[in-house]
Amino acid sequence: MNTYDLAALSAFELSAVMTADLDSQLRRHFDKGPRQEDLTFAIWRPSSSTLRYTAVLGELLLPSSSDRILNGNAAFTGDYFSRVLAAVPDGAGIAFLHSHLKPGWQGMSYNDTVAERDRLAAAVAGRTGLPLLGLTWGTDGAWSARFWARTAPFKYERLDAAVVRVAGPDRLTLTFHPQLRPPPKVSAAQVATASVWGERAQEDLARVRVGIVGLGSVGSVVADALSRMGVSDLLFLDHDIIEERNLDRTLHAVPEDARVGTPKVAVAERGTTTSHTARDFRVRALPVSLLTDEGLAAALDCDVIICCVDRPWPRAILNAMAYAHLIPVIDGGIMTRVTPEGRPLNIDWRIHTVGPGRACMYCLGALLRSDVALDRDGMLDDPDYIRGLKPEDRERYNRRNVFAFSLAVAAHENLQLAGMIAGSSRIGGVGPQHYSAYPGEMTVSETTTCEPDCEIAALTATAVGLEVRPPVAGRAP
């Protein structure tokens, strides 16, 4: 079976995603006034996960003036399309993008259908092994997308995407298919929440799929808060179980959970199933590590991920995923230092969002590459290795925490999510946040970008496969 066959594609929810930079380039290209449409081709790469098949749009193959005919409508020439077929690299697909003169999710005219189904779909599938992706731009900036699936030799059928995402430094813009993902009505339980950022933002928040990786002290609170805010589509990922030492800081966990070893995701599922305010609430609770094929594939299903793990290796994977697959990751961390006598010395925490147009965890100084290597290679579980470290290095791996610290981090992670979806920096702030408990001050940086030679920024929109090796023998994945 080929990727472009109906049986293969129809098994997935379909989506497309691009960076805000690409969206801006397209906006400039399409802006021809109120009576003129335009078109272009682009390259995309597949990002396949458990539930979803996503086209990650990459570089544009813009037309020259002789490559298309503009007479109100727009038509491409055969020479232009031939040039596109020759230019597409191995493993990549071809997208055909054009503008309409109306706002919102766009339907297709007869001419649109003929162009995509009859002129392009078969040639693109034959050349690339991937389905043709069609996208239409509305005057309000909304994107609509569809894939063309082969149903029989030379016959192609349109499969609409459920959502198109534009990931930028200030906002994750979502255009949902009005029938496949219709907006839920704001419920009576959400009136106060929706009154802060408006019904439109609430509708997007309700439909965005949020993954929470790590359901411990921070993640359990994030999950509960999201469910109360009206987020209705949640993924929980954590392989760990509740132990007695977790009871001081895991929301909804009770002594019985420690006694029987309830998975942390099950505790969060139990809590959110009773606390959510959405009419149609879905939670997928997977008791597996991100560092497994199943965990990675599930994370790639998400529109946004909130990283609530403190281990460097899974954080590095999420850091790469944010750029390669254009899934913004909201990350936070708590650091507590005590004196040799055991008194508080420094307590701080930081919250930041990483993804296209923003500095990655490495460039923010929130994650060290060498810590990632040590965690990956099992050294952070070797007590002899930890004992041999310099004190300042050893301090980075301490697990001191208090529930109230986690509440604060979780609150700001949720606010950064709400601000990103609502497109308002007045909710989540303008950039990375750093709180120092003494004297009690939150400092905020303007959104920064990666260093010029950062290997993570170089992954942007590549949809490169993320690989994790099997866990070290004797160590949980």
Partner 1 sequence: MNDTEFQEYLRGLGLKVESAQDSDSTPYTVIRNITISGGSLAGHTCDVAIACCPSQPYVAAAAVHTRPALLPMGTRNTQASKLGPNWQYWSRRLDRPPTPQRLWTHILTVLTEV
Residue among 405, 295, 288, 404 at smallest CA distance from 350: 405
Half-sphere exposure of 377 (CA within 13 A, CB side): 8
The residue (of 107 and 465) whose beta carbon lies closer to partner 1 is 465
Angle, helix 264-275 to helix 217-229, in steps of 10 degrees: 20
Binding mask 314-333 toward partner 1 (x if CB under 8 A, else -) reads --x---x-------------
As measured in angstroms, the least distance from the Cβ of 26 to partner 1 is 28
Side chain identity, residue 475: R
CA dist 237 → 185, 278, 309, 333, 476 (Å):
28, 21, 10, 18, 14
| 368: contact with partner 1 by CB under 8 A | yes
| 469: contact with partner 1 by CB under 8 A | yes
Counting residues that bind partner 1 (by CB under 8 A) gives: 30
Asked if 76 and 62 touch (Cβ cutoff 8 Å), the reply is no
The residue (of 257 and 371) whose beta carbon lies closer to partner 1 is 371
Distance CA 194, CA 186 (A): 7
Side chain identity, residue 439: P
Site for partner 1 in 205-224 (CB under 8 A): none
| 339: contact with partner 1 by CB under 8 A | no
3-state secondary structure of 264: helix
| 377: contact with partner 1 by CB under 8 A | yes
| 374: contact with partner 1 by CB under 8 A | yes
Among positions 149, 459, 461, 463, the unique one binding partner 1 when judged by CB under 8 A: 459
CA dist 353 → 218, 253, 307, 342 (Å):
16, 28, 10, 33
Site for partner 1 in 70-109 (CB under 8 A): none
As measured in angstroms, the least distance from the Cβ of 72 to partner 1 is 46
Site for partner 1 in 298-317 (CB under 8 A): 316
Among positions 275, 348, 466, 477, the unique one binding partner 1 when judged by CB under 8 A: 466
Among positions 66, 71, 339, 370, the unique one binding partner 1 when judged by CB under 8 A: 370
| 468: contact with partner 1 by CB under 8 A | yes
> Which pair of structure tokens corresponds to residue 335?
């650091």
Binding mask 378-407 toward partner 1 (x if CB under 8 A, else -) reads -x----xx--x-------------------
With CB under 8 A as the contact rule, which of the stretches 8-16, 33-41, 77-85, 370-378 interacts with partner 1?
370-378
Are β-strands 163-167 and 13-19 bridged in parallel, bridged antiparallel, or unpaired? Answer: parallel
| 376: contact with partner 1 by CB under 8 A | yes
Q: Give all strands (DSSP E) within 11-88, no chain letters.
A: 13-19, 39-48, 52-61, 68-71, 73-76
Binding mask 422-451 toward partner 1 (x if CB under 8 A, else -) reads -----------------------------x
- Give kind and range of the element (H or E) at residue 164: strand 163-167
The residue (of 318 and 420) whose beta carbon lies closer to partner 1 is 318
Asked if 373 and 385 touch (Cβ cutoff 8 Å), the reply is no
Which residues bind to partner 1, rule: CB under 8 A? 316, 320, 362, 368-374, 376-377, 379, 384-385, 388, 451, 453-456, 459, 464-469, 472-473
